[in-house]
Amino acid sequence: MVILGIDPGTATTGYGVIKILSKKGKKIRALKCLKFGCIKTEPKDNFPKRLLILSREIKKLVKIHRPKLAAIESLFFFKNQKTVIRVSEATGVIILILEKMRVPIIEYSPLQVKKFLTKNGRADKKDVQKKVEKILKIKDAALKDDAADALALALYAANHL
């Protein structure tokens, strides 16, 4: 089973694609990281164009990897109201694309994912990144925190099916 994890953002959206290779009951025996990265948009572009770029890139990922499930980070408290509105709009575009492409969606909070991976709901991004690297055996300096968060979402989903 292929799972797509997405950490929505306006400037940077992290993504991670994993595949469950074997499972016994609810216990996962083997996983593989298929791809990870970030979809970046230019601040100089108007916001509708940035959303269009995001939608095109999400479509490409779905067409290439054919995920059976998408795990998306749900919104949490933001101090900046403008930021939460923009991230909500980006999340809406992502959800729309996934729904149109018939990919089931589950949303998880950062707290759930952090607590599952690190046993600490207040873990910082570096702790999450280290745990993701260890579980998926990633030795790639290109793993940025947005992509690590997306892979963490996919891992959480894989373990909670």
pLDDT tens, 8-53?
999 999 999 999 998 888 788 899 999 999 999 999 999 999 999 9
Catalytic residue among 57, 73, 145, 149: 73
- pLDDT of amino acid 26: 77
Q: Span 58-80, mean pLDDT?
A: 90
Residue 145 annotated among the catalytic residues of the structure: no
What is the pTM (predicted TM-score) of this model?
A: 0.94
Cβ–Cβ < 8 Å for 151, 43? no
Catalytic residue among 57, 124, 133, 146: 146
Fold of the 1-158 domain: Nucleotidyltransferase; domain 5 (3.30.420)
Residue 57 annotated among the catalytic residues of the structure: no
Catalytic residue among 7, 57, 145, 149: 7
- Checking if the pLDDT of 77 tops 70, the result is no
Residue 78 pLDDT grade (very low, low, confident, very high; cuts 50, 70, 90): low
Beta strands in the chain (DSSP E): 2-7, 12-24, 27-40, 69-73, 105-108
Residue 73 annotated among the catalytic residues of the structure: yes
